Amino acid sequence: MSDHKHEHGDACGCGHDHDHEHDHDHEEFVLTLTDEHGKEVEMVLVETFDVNEKLYALLLERENPGADGVILRMEEENEEMVLYNIEDEEEWNAVEAAYNELVAAQE
Q: How far apart are CA 57 and CA 49, in angstroms?
A: 7
Q: Judge whether 7 lies within some domain.
A: no
**Nearest residue to 95 via CA among 29, 50, 40:** 50
Domain that holds residue 93: 29-106
Residue 107: DSSP 8-state? -
3-state per-residue secondary structure call for 24-74: CCCCCEEEEEECCCCCEEEEEEEEEEEECCEEEEEEEECCCCCCCCEEEEE
Q: Judge whether 73 lies within some domain.
A: yes
pLDDT of residue 91: 96
The share of the chain scoring above pLDDT 90, in percent, equals 44
Q: Judge whether 39 lies within some domain.
A: yes
Whether 13 has a pLDDT exceeding 70, the answer reads: no
Q: How far apart are CA 88 and CA 92, in angstroms?
A: 6
Average pLDDT, the chain: 78
The tally of domains found in the chain comes to: 1
pLDDT digits (tens, 9 = 90+) for 17-51: 444 344 445 567 898 888 788 999 999 999 999 99
Whether 84 has a pLDDT exceeding 50, the answer reads: yes
Q: Judge whether 84 lies within some domain.
A: yes
